[in-house]
Copies of this chain bind each other. A is one copy, B any other.
């Protein structure tokens, strides 16, 4: 019997049932490990793995052909050395996180524009301050770096809220979603930064994206601009960002990702001016919709795999996405 191992700690009963039923109908048996741990002596039994194991486990899965991670980012799983042989296909779950992360982006963007942290401080002291300058998504010019599932879901919402323009900046030549007012290449970024009120970054962590928001590019943003990063921390020159925030060269930043994670208690990011830090929560499995979509994506590719069709979520390990 061909066997699938599922690390199911994030799943509800209906997810397990869905996978089990589909697997059986395709000629597989699915085993579920609720504590996300696969016993070493079972590793060789499985042809398919769905879950987020420690990377060191994979070497022991000598018969593995397809490994699906429920995350969108695949950094821990890109090196060749961690795999038992050359033939393992890696898929990710890009597409499951657009709803939850776009709601996170909306929330933190509005919190920064509307001075919510300052008002929360007022309320914590039981004072009653009614007026501080605010801004709006309505009428703003927004630049989105990364025009995949996350960037596109956010762009649609920003347009519905009345953003003046939403520009997409893409890394590939893939056509963007029509919700973007215009699409630019990464080499055109400098030209649009000076008119950007809100810069949203949803880039994967690859060699190519490291340092995308450099000191020079931060200097091109207007002083009233805010930066929101939900992709990977490596895409921002953090020292330059801290300098810009503390000197008032930037109005605010909301970082859900940073380097390193967890952020050490004495790191200067914690105390940068007008910063809103969250502990990498925008896209985790907390939301039911995310869990549903994630399992749906795996099941779609399980049907593809069983039928010998190409996997839709296939990752190029060299590119990192």
**Which residues on A are within 8 Å of B, measured CB to CB?**
99-100, 103-104, 106-107, 110-111, 113-114, 116-117, 119-120, 122-123, 126-139, 156-157, 160-162, 261-263, 265, 270, 277-281, 284-289
Contact = CB atoms under 8 A, between A and B. Distances in A.
Q: How many copies altogether? A: 2
Given A107-B116, A119-B278, A160-B160, A286 B131 contact: yes
Q: Is the interface of A mostly helix, strand, loop or mixed?
A: loop
B103 A137 contact: yes
Contact of A161 (B103, B132, B136, B285): B103
The winner among A123, A127, A129 for most chain B CB atoms within 10 A is: A123
Contact of A157 (B117, B132, B161): B161
Given A123-B279, A134-B100, A281-B130, A139 B289 contact: yes
Contacts of A122: 279
A105 B134 CA distance: 15
Nearest to A287: B134
Given A114-B107, A130-B281, A131-B286, A120 B120 contact: yes
Contacts of A113: 103
B156 A119 contact: no
Contact of A99 (B162, B279, B289): B162
Given A128-B263, A130-B284, A134-B287, A104 B114 contact: yes
A252 B262 CA distance: 29
A107 B103 contact: no
Contacts of A161: 103, 106, 157, 160
* 7 closest Cβ pairs, A-B complex: A160-B160, A128-B262, A134-B286, A107-B110, A126-B265, A128-B279, A134-B287
The winner among A122, A132, A157, A281 for most chain B CB atoms within 10 A is: A281
A280 B127 CA distance: 12
